[in-house]
Structure 1
Amino acid sequence: PGGAPDGDARVPAPVVPPDLPALLERAGVPAGAVTALAADAARLWGPGATGVLEADPWQLLALPGTTPDRADECARTLLGAGATPDDPRRVEALCVHLLERGARFGHTAADPAALARALGGYGVPRPEEALAEAIEAGAAVLFEDPDPDAAPTPVPPTAVPPGEGSAGAADDGNDGNDGDHTMGGEPGERDDFAPSVPVRTLVGTERWAVAEESLADGLIGLATTTPAGRPELPTEPPDASGGAPLRPGSSAAELWSTVRDHGLVVHTGGEAARAEPLAVVAAARAAGLRAGVAVHHPDGVRRAVAGLPDLPVATCAGLLTGREGPGRDEEGTLPLDLVAVLDAELMDVEAAAALVEALPGGARLILSGDPYGLESAGAGAVLRDVLTAAVRGLCPSVVSRTPDPGPIGELVSGVAVGELVPVEAPDREVVVVTARDAGEAVHRTVQLVTESIPRAFGTGPASTVVIVPGEEGPVGGLALNAALKAAVNPGPGRFGGFDPGDRVEYREGPGRYRPATVLEGTPQGLRLGPAGDPPPPGTGDADHTVTVPPERVATSVRHGWAVTARRAVGRRWSAAVVVLPGDAGHRLDRGWLHTAFGRGERHLSVVQGSAGGAAAAVAVPRRVERVTRLPLLLRRAVTADGGGATA
């Protein structure tokens, strides 16, 4: 799951208007940043980019890497005294910038009071009024969604002084719609037009509003389709050759019977539970339905087809673009009667809306994922929000009873519920290493990757991943990748910091990183080939080399021995080394640990400082709770008496 490709290094460079670089230089943009910024502006606004920025320099905030301070400096340079803190252009650009920045943290909307405070932090006078004016101008959208769970706002009886309000206005011929007086009836009378259901007020952009509303409509449609409108599934699942048996009483059998009777089903569980929707899809295909599986990352394809080589599995991005899967029929829909989405927690709201919109009438959808790990890189919290709606009766949910095996599975399961307890690991499946300082942490990590793990498990460094909280710092991704490169593939980095044979990560789009190996550097750019073994045929990766243009190498390619947990989602390696600096626990949370600890299939090493960062992190369920509208929109399908959606 993920959005359509964005930032793909194979996208042709845009045509930059000839006068745009000069304008950016005149605005004070540093010389080294002009070329990239001009290309971004041309990509966004096309031939009219120069005119856009001349009319409104604060539109620079729409371009990657531009800060409000930089935009203010450029505006003052171009506009002089006309660049004031309360300029409507500035307020509107800041409003959009703040909402888009929130989307990078997963929010699809914001509380108006919080947004106004943020505007005030950038020196906007009277921020509440300024926000209201920006909304009126169309920079943002105000939403008032019914929210029965919110505390109702008391509706006081009207208390209008004699001679004022509609009663007094009637005496002098006023119809009650002019002036500043309060509209109302007699003193003590209650307003019959006050909303009977509390509302939640949020501010957002049209982009996320369209996605969430489209997704809500599609999910409600799936949940409310009558059985007669869906292809029939037999009560007893047919035997699917190579598929996991749907034994009576098992979680897989429960999922089968639930999918048989409903158009939308939520399924949750860990790594081992992924076999259950796969078994249901295999059985549905044996019953004659057109059924398939969508996953977040090509590595998910590898794991899915390991026991079911004939099962049609595609990445969600590939399925939506047509690069993978069955393509679209003449009506533009996916020719599938049943789709099981694995890694649903990693699906952003735009990708989910696109997928649901692409399903034909009468299709069934299984959203399967792990609600305890990291959420999508893009905006939204689709799995969380649909689970919330399922509890309220929108659709059924199936919680897998299949535990993840072994010491790693036991550790990860404990982290999910906030417990960090020692596990028995007789074959050293889980090892904790304490490092006294950053230098020792780097040394022990390199030693684990290049010596200890290969000696104990017979796997080379290519089968091990190092997971870090961030790129910066003495034990961050940059430092560890430099140390690992020196140990595994030393070289001068003659091609933009890379050498042939380097293990790298290539950014295909938001939250989607593909492992690769540097083949060579050419005048056209850095040429990358597949990492490790060739990918399975039909996954869109078989013919897989890509040349990254020189100007995009710095933003699209990173060394890949050590990666952040965000870049590791949707994938697993034979072994994982999780590095937790001493202060990391106060910046991480339970979801981060759950994801990081679950990346190793056979072995997990934890290198941590003496402060024990894991214990501090596991105590915090989530440091950021995403603000979204989807749960409010899905409530429309649930009856007022608490019943479920009409099926």
Structure 2
Amino acid sequence: MEHAVSEPETTEHSGPGNPDPGPEPGAPRTGGTTDGEGRGGAAESGDGPTAGPDAADGTGTAGLSEAEAELAAQRVERERIEQRKAARRGPIESGGRLSGKAADLLAAVRAVESGRAPAAGVFAEPGAEAVPPPPVPEPVRRPAPGLAEAAAVPAAPAPETIGSVRRVLGEGGAPETLAPRIAAALGEGAEERLRADPWQLLRVRGVRPEQADGFARALLGTECGPDDERRGRALTVWLLEQAALAGHTALGAPELTAALAQRAVPDPEAALHGTLAEGEALAFQDAPATDEEGERPVRVLVGLERYALAEESLADGLARLIGSVPRQSGSSEDWERAAASARGSAAELLRAVAGHGLVLHTGGEASRAEPARLLGEARRLGLRAWAAAHGPLGRDGFAELLRRSQEADGPSGTPAPPVATVAGLLSGAEGPGREDDGSLALDLLVVLDAPQLDVESAALLVESLPDGARLVLAGDPGVLWSAGPGRVFADLLAARVCPCVASRVPDPGPLGELVSGIGAGELSEVAAPGREVVIVPVRDAGEAVHRTVQLVADSVPRAIGVPVEQTTVITPGHGGAAGTRALNAALKARLNPGPGRFGGFDPGDRIAYSPAPGRTLPGHVVKADAEGLHLSCSGAPVVVPRELVETQVRHGWALTAHQAVGGRWPAVVVVLPGDAARALSRPWVYTAFGRASRHLSVVHGAEQALPRAVAEVPAEPRTTRLPDLLRTQTQAAEEERAAG
């Protein structure tokens, strides 16, 4: 790989900057690749109760923002999924039979779900008889909510409720700015609930256990102790929430009890038992694999209800797609003619979609030409076909690909490309709209960037598809997984329950060669005659910031011809001397200096707007007034109220890899300071390097940590229930077909 012009002499480097801290010591081992961003939100999780202004103080604008509409749609859809869960009288069965503690644990949760008292000896010696589960009725699919329902946003907590919570916080020495969020989390009677259980403070994102312990000691005095059952239950739920932030939808019971012990909970099993008995978590049996003797070892998983509901709903919806007959539009001969006109893996994709309700498609950036071909052929056959991308950059890029590959259609000229974002499709802000029964008005949906689907978004999407619809999940398996819990695309690839078409279209040029090698675990030098790849060695984080600003503001525009606004910087974390905060401060001082009178922002500032955790919309500041900060995100106007600016908006010249996933820019500068070694992995490097379409500069101070990460550090595993649920659904379908 070629080096930049006028490089500084390479000497032994030092890394004074420290990235944001990782998961709390003693917490369960977390999966996925962490880039220090708190899973995509604008506010840094882990800053504690003093971080940021309140996000729900009841002073929002009267109009319905795009973020509110999206969250409302997801909230209504979740309520519908919960109603489906309530229609069942027992948990979904999976795996083999349980005995001993595992059976006792499941007996306890089944007793709670059915209204009976839980068994007393959940964690007693093996041999206790498990309560048999009640029969499970067939799931009932209910229509999705309409747009009118999605527009209903729950009211903010009453001012008197916030005031009463504020008084309790003051008595316990906690920041009173937390009051609106606690009132929203605990609902009516928040003051009484907080006094009765001070550890409910952990319900607020960013509060640490030691802070909740201090608050409890101040309120309870000598009654407070580490063996308090309220503390054990709250820590159990908190650990499950922390695991969800790391991508897990559930944790093994032994892992959870070990983490509770590290948190000074004297009787971790009793704490877990109490949490299950109160219905604050659910237990499940899981048979992950078959051993050499053909036995299926069974383990017990514990998870929060919201993710359990989402995974079960997703498994049901996927089974419905796999088992249904796709809605026909055009004869099989028409589909075959369309496939014959294509070549290679594009023809395979067309043939697979012609006869199946669920199809997977894997490949790099160049492979998107195949879903584009599929979309065009499907529309010509009369199907209502749409595509959905992870974010607006992916949506706009795919729309441009469609414009180039498809001819103008209709007398009014070129129609609007049938492409939306996943969030816009679910909220109704984009896409074809919904039918009278609440389902999306389409026959074929192609989801791009499918690895970014978390389990809740995937469940909402699948449940919104009408009977007979086709779903194609397309994406690059090598990129970082979703910011939210789950690994839907990877689980489906491993389950082999539907056709999977691997694209044979390689990404072109030196960048394509470099990224393909990284995906295979090799970091190789590539010939870059057009300076497509440039390495800039640095000695420390301060020099990394200096060289990054020089590259963005001068070297890349002058030598490569890519303007500043088309260049993005990617770094492992928000914190540290070369994190996004430091880089954005330096880039703003050079590219758009100003007083930052509105929360540190000025007109023209490049920003990253996070309306919801895991979502980042790039844009720029237009102006600021009494309404709030006015942004333009992919051409769409957005107004962020004053009280939400600090938690939802960052400067956006520099991003983390999770914020950048799903987008591409002509030029990318990847910054790897010496202290980035622990954040690097093969998926991180693959994702960061793959965001460049024309030029990649690597500001490199990580020395051997970079090739070692590519060769030896794969994605951290995530614990999910979807594979087992899919196996159960597949086996049930096969038995039903055999019996019929």
User: Does TM-score exceed 0.5, indicating one fold?
Assistant: yes
Alpha-carbon deviation of 1:108?
0.1
Show the counterpart of 1:234: 332
Which structure has the greater CA radius of gyration? 1
Matches within 5 A, 1:305-454: 305-309=399-403, 310=415, 311-390=417-496, 394-454=497-557
Show the counterpart of 2:37: none
Partner Cα separation in structure 2 for residue 414 and residue 123 of structure 1: 46
- The verdict on how the C-alpha distance between 1:295 and 1:9 changes in structure 2, with shifts beyond 3 A counting, is closer
1:25 partner amino acid: G
Tell whether 2:348 aligns with 1:250.
no
Show the counterpart of 2:272: 131
More divergent stretch after superposition (104-113 vs 141-150): 141-150
Alpha-carbon deviation of 1:212?
0.2
Q: Is the contact made by 1:14 and 1:42 (CA closer than 8 Å) also made in structure 2? A: yes
Q: Is the contact made by 1:434 and 1:610 (CA closer than 8 Å) also made in structure 2? A: no
Tell whether 2:390 aligns with 1:292.
no
Q: TM-score scaled to structure 1, two decimals? A: 0.85
Partner Cα separation in structure 2 for residue 519 and residue 248 of structure 1: 45
Show the counterpart of 1:56: 197
2:638 partner amino acid: T
- The verdict on how the C-alpha distance between 1:6 and 1:85 changes in structure 2, with shifts beyond 3 A counting, is farther
- The verdict on how the C-alpha distance between 1:523 and 1:5 changes in structure 2, with shifts beyond 3 A counting, is closer
More divergent stretch after superposition (74-83 vs 600-609): 74-83
Helix, strand or coil for the counterpart of 1:308?
Answer: helix
Match of 1:225 among 294, 310, 324: 324
Alpha-carbon deviation of 1:343?
0.4
Partner Cα separation in structure 2 for residue 643 and residue 592 of structure 1: 42
Deviation track 1:365-420 (CA, whole Å, cap 9, x = no partner) reads 11111111101111100000010111xxx111111101111111111111111000
2:373 partner amino acid: A
Show the counterpart of 1:594: 686
2:697 partner amino acid: S
Structure 1 regions of 5+ residues with no counterpart? 154-195, 535-540
- The verdict on how the C-alpha distance between 1:253 and 1:316 changes in structure 2, with shifts beyond 3 A counting, is same
Show the counterpart of 1:25: 170
The number of residue pairs the alignment matches comes to 581
Alpha-carbon deviation of 1:279?
1.1
Deviation track 1:445-490 (CA, whole Å, cap 9, x = no partner) reads 1111011110123222111000000011111111111111111001
Show the counterpart of 2:581: 478
Show the counterpart of 1:271: 365
Q: Is the contact made by 1:234 and 1:260 (CA closer than 8 Å) also made in structure 2? A: yes
Partner Cα separation in structure 2 for residue 398 and residue 645 of structure 1: 26
Show the counterpart of 1:469: 572
Helix, strand or coil for the counterpart of 2:547?
Answer: helix
Deviation track 1:502-551 (CA, whole Å, cap 9, x = no partner) reads 111111212111112222332333222346xx3xxxxxx3xx131x2222
Deviation track 1:14-34 (CA, whole Å, cap 9, x = no partner) reads 43412111111111113xxx2
Helix, strand or coil for the counterpart of 2:251?
Answer: coil
Alpha-carbon deviation of 1:552?
1.6
Alpha-carbon deviation of 1:436?
1.6
Alpha-carbon deviation of 1:7?
11
More divergent stretch after superposition (436-445 vs 323-332): 436-445
Alpha-carbon deviation of 1:640?
9.4
Alpha-carbon deviation of 1:136?
2.6
Partner Cα separation in structure 2 for residue 637 and residue 230 of structure 1: 25
Structure 2 regions of 5+ residues with no counterpart? 1-39, 42-65, 73-152, 404-414
Match of 2:723 among 616, 631, 641: 631
Q: Is the contact made by 1:53 and 1:59 (CA closer than 8 Å) also made in structure 2? A: yes
Q: Is the contact made by 2:69 and 2:427 (CA closer than 8 Å) also made in structure 1? A: no
Helix, strand or coil for the counterpart of 2:387?
Answer: strand
1:299 partner amino acid: L
RMSD value, Cα: 2.7
1:122 partner amino acid: R
- The verdict on how the C-alpha distance between 1:203 and 1:562 changes in structure 2, with shifts beyond 3 A counting, is same
Partner Cα separation in structure 2 for residue 422 and residue 530 of structure 1: 37
Q: Is the contact made by 1:145 and 1:632 (CA closer than 8 Å) also made in structure 2? A: yes
Deviation track 1:80-122 (CA, whole Å, cap 9, x = no partner) reads 2222212221111111111011101110000111111111111
Match of 2:398 among 304, 308, 313: 304
Match of 1:528 among 627, 631, 636: 631
Q: TM-score scaled to structure 2, two decimals? A: 0.75
Percentage of matched positions with identical amino acids: 52
Show the counterpart of 1:518: 621
More divergent stretch after superposition (503-512 vs 608-617): 608-617
Partner Cα separation in structure 1 for residue 737 and residue 371 of structure 2: 23
Alpha-carbon deviation of 1:232?
5.4
Partner Cα separation in structure 1 for residue 420 and residue 389 of structure 2: 6
Partner Cα separation in structure 2 for residue 232 and residue 239 of structure 1: 11
1:617 partner amino acid: A
Deviation track 1:318-357 (CA, whole Å, cap 9, x = no partner) reads 1011110111110000111111111000011001001110
- The verdict on how the C-alpha distance between 1:614 and 1:247 changes in structure 2, with shifts beyond 3 A counting, is farther
Show the counterpart of 1:500: 603
1:276 partner amino acid: E
- The verdict on how the C-alpha distance between 1:526 and 1:8 changes in structure 2, with shifts beyond 3 A counting, is farther
Q: Is the contact made by 2:319 and 2:730 (CA closer than 8 Å) also made in structure 1? A: no
Helix, strand or coil for the counterpart of 2:322?
Answer: helix
Alpha-carbon deviation of 1:202?
0.8
Q: Is the contact made by 1:468 and 1:476 (CA closer than 8 Å) also made in structure 2? A: yes
Q: Is the contact made by 2:675 and 2:702 (CA closer than 8 Å) also made in structure 1? A: no
More divergent stretch after superposition (87-96 vs 413-422): 87-96
Helix, strand or coil for the counterpart of 2:623?
Answer: strand
Higher relative contact order (CA 8 A, sep 6+): 2
Partner Cα separation in structure 1 for residue 643 and residue 603 of structure 2: 19
